[in-house]
């Protein structure tokens, strides 16, 4: 089972129990960059702050066990985490969730544009160059909405930093 | 002061300390408020797990700060600022008036 298939499987199981958990972080980059970036963990944002005990029970039903703050399963190398909600990019709520269908279920994840914002937030606030590289990968692979990213960067008070990296977000010659 | 809203005295102490000082570690916060380490550490863990704080290690110390990615950060800090203005002047001053500029090693006081 691929990372995306596993995430879709887990999400579908949680969804059936009323738990909304949206794929974000590095695994989201991996999906949108079509594997040009790989991540060992799967971040499913606990969008509506469901009680941890409810998540633990649901994960145990499909064979996962909790270790510290993440969940592991003997049949997969991927580690699943549930970062706290609300689902946001920087200080703004995420308005639109993308859906992708897999044989294991429907995967709900950040759109390419929100995925780029999510990675840029880490670059803006912590100067994390790895996250900038991931933002560039997704922006180029999926033609992210640069105008919208510019608007969001301004709202985050990061327009100066955005100007420095704007050219990198577009495909060369694109 | 903000305990009814923030849930506990320890939560208020942690948040107010980090608001005033920008960063801090569990023992430092407990020492400042002359309280036990355990409830302070528990609040730091809880707030980090909730995405309000982030931490990093410096040597053997785990330093906590507000997460710049916490979506309600601005509103939370406004509340803390307002709360701090109601603190007794001595407490407010000892929270805020701390030397933050560097001190060269070996420099006489």
Q: What is the pLDDT of residue B62?
A: 96
B108 in a domain, yes or no?
A: no
**Does A121 contact B69 at a Cβ distance shorter than 8 Å?**
yes
Q: CATH no. for residue B50? A: 1.10.10.10
pLDDT at B39 over 60: yes
Task: Report pTM.
Answer: 0.87
B104 in a domain, yes or no?
A: no
Cβ-contact A7, A45 below 8 angstroms: no
Cβ-contact A89, A101 below 8 angstroms: no
Q: What is the pLDDT of residue B37?
A: 97
Chain B hits for A122, Cβ within 8 Å: 69
- The kind and range of the H/E element at B92 are helix B89-96
CA distance linking residue A171 with residue A19, whole number of Å: 37
How crowded is the C-beta side of A68, counted as CA atoms within 13 Å? Answer: 5
B54 in a domain, yes or no?
A: yes
Q: What is the pLDDT of residue A170?
A: 86
Which ranges of chain A have pLDDT less than 50? none
**Does B69 contact A90 at a Cβ distance shorter than 8 Å?**
yes
CA distance linking residue A15 with residue A23, whole number of Å: 13
Q: What is the average pLDDT across B65-78?
A: 94
Select the more confidently predicted residue: B105 or B82. Answer: B82
Interface with B, mutate which of A45, A81, A90, A120 (most B CBs under 10 A): A90
Helical spans, DSSP H, in A19-173? 25-32, 52-61, 112-126, 129-142, 146-155, 159-169
CA distance linking residue A125 with residue A161, whole number of Å: 10
Give the total number of structural domains in chain B. 1
Q: What is the pLDDT of residue B50?
A: 92
Write out the residue range of the structural domain in which residue B25 sits. Answer: 3-96
Cβ-contact A81, A41 below 8 angstroms: yes
What is the value of ipTM here, to two decimals?
Answer: 0.74
B105 in a domain, yes or no?
A: no
Q: What is the pLDDT of residue A90?
A: 86
Cβ-contact A113, A144 below 8 angstroms: yes
Which positions 130-169 of A are in contact with B (Cβ < 8 Å)? none
**Per-residue pLDDT reduced to its tens digit, B3-28:** 889 999 999 999 999 999 999 999 99
CA distance linking residue A134 with residue A155, whole number of Å: 21
Q: What is the average pLDDT across B75-85?
A: 95
CA distance linking residue B15 with residue B72, whole number of Å: 13
Signed CA dihedral, B24, B27, B28, B34: sign only: positive
B87 in a domain, yes or no?
A: yes
Total residue count of chain B as it appears in this document: 109
B102 in a domain, yes or no?
A: no
Other C-beta atoms closer than 10 Å to the C-beta of A118 total: 26
What 3-state DSSP class applies to A43?
Answer: strand
CA geometry: angle B66, A93, A115, nearest 5 deg = 90
CA distance linking residue A28 with residue A97, whole number of Å: 12
Interface with B, mutate which of A53, A68, A91 (most B CBs under 10 A): A91
Which residue(s) pair with B63 in the sheet? B56
**Per-residue pLDDT reduced to its tens digit, A20-38:** 999 999 999 999 998 889 8
Q: What is the dihedral of CA B76, B77, B82, B88, to 10 degrees?
A: 110
**Which among B50, B51, B73 has the least Cβ separation from residue A91?**
B73
Which residue(s) pair with A105 in the sheet? A102
Cβ-contact A115, A29 below 8 angstroms: yes
* A–B CB contacts, 8 A cutoff, strictly below: 22
């Amino acid at each position: 089972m691929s990372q995306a298939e596993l995430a879709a499987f887990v999400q579908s199981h949680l969804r059936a129990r009323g738990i909304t958990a949206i794929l974000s972080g590095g695994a989201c980059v991996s999906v949108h960059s079509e594997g040009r970036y790989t991540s060992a963990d799967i971040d499913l944002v606990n969008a509506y702050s469901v009680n941890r005990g409810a998540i633990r029970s649901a994960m145990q039903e499909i064979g996962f066990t909790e270790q510290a703050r993440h969940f592991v399963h003997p049949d997969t190398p991927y580690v699943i985490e549930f970062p706290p909600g609300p689902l946001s990019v920087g200080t703004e709520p995420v308005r639109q969730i993308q859906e992708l269908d897999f044989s294991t279920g429907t995967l709900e994840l950040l759109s390419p544009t929100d995925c780029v914002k999510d990675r840029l937030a880490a670059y803006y606030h912590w100067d994390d160059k790895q996250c900038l590289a991931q933002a560039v990968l997704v922006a180029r692979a999926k033609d992210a909405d640069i105008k919208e990213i510019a608007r969001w960067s301004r709202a985050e008070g990061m327009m100066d930093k955005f100007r420095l990296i704007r050219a990198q977000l577009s495909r060369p010659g694109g | 002061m903000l305990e009814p809203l923030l849930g506990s005295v320890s939560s208020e102490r942690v948040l107010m300390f980090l608001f005033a000082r920008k960063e801090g570690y569990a023992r430092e916060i407990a020492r400042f408020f002359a309280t036990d380490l355990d409830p302070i550490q528990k609040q730091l863990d809880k707030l980090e797990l909730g995405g309000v704080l982030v931490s990093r290690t410096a040597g053997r110390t785990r330093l906590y700060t507000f997460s710049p990615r916490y979506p309600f950060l601005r509103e939370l800090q406004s509340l803390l600022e307002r709360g701090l203005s109601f603190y007794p002047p001595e407490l407010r001053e000892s929270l805020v008036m701390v030397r933050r500029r560097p001190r060269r090693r070996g420099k006489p006081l």
